[in-house]
Amino acid sequence: MIQFNLQTVEAVTEALGANNMLDAVLSKLDAETIQEVLSSIMRENGLGR
């Protein structure tokens, strides 16, 4: 799994010129990768299997 620190997240957000980091990142990914990212976020927050 790839881990990002806050500085990396802020830099990517600024580079993309997006207000919403998740939407900006997801818009660049294919459907399978989007599902993996969302599933991972849900698991990390106790919402998935």
The verdict on residue 1 lying in a domain is no
Length of the chain: 49
**Number of domains forming the structure of the chain:** 1
The verdict on residue 39 lying in a domain is yes
The verdict on residue 23 lying in a domain is yes
The CA-to-CA distance between both ends of the chain, in Å, stands at 17
Per-residue tens of pLDDT for the chain, all 49 residues: 566 677 777 777 777 665 677 787 888 899 999 888 888 888 887 886 5
The verdict on residue 31 lying in a domain is yes
Q: Are 26 and 34 in contact (CB under 8 A)?
A: yes
The verdict on residue 40 lying in a domain is yes
pLDDT of residue 15: 75
**What residue numbers bound the domain in which 19 lies?**
6-44
The verdict on residue 36 lying in a domain is yes
The verdict on residue 22 lying in a domain is yes
Q: Are 48 and 42 in contact (CB under 8 A)?
A: yes
The verdict on residue 49 lying in a domain is no
pLDDT of residue 3: 66
Residue with tokens 């990002």: 4
The model's pTM is 0.51
